[in-house]
Amino acid sequence: MHVTIYHNPRCTKSRDTLALLQARGIQPDVVEYLKTPPDAATLERLLGLLKLEPRELMRRKEAEYAVLGLDNPALTRTQLIAAMAEHPVLIERPIVVVDDDRAALGRPPEAIFSLFV
């Protein structure tokens, strides 16, 4: 089993999710997405695995969300994904991916358990 976590070490939920994985003996590949942002194609794939629309994966309370006018309903899916790729602080975290075919958002951290049943 291959596990990847898109992680922000400054985020409590992200740290808690990583700790849950490690407590189960899982040593995931850790992608610090603020340092190594996913590109638009990766975000599109993650959205598909999560079965979410772009705004559902966005941190809408971040200043960038308002500054960039991302609440504009006329923005396309492509534009929203491009904004997340360019401003990774907008991406909700943590995202855990198992075997490149299943993913869950660790909010709450226990939500990732659905990946291991």
Residues noted as catalytic: 11
35 CB-contact burial (10 Å; exposed 0-12 / middle 13-18 / buried 19+): exposed
Kindly give the residue spans of alpha helices, DSSP state H, lying in 3-92: 12-23, 40-50, 63-67, 77-86
**Type of residue numbered 62:** E
CA distance 12 to 52: 22
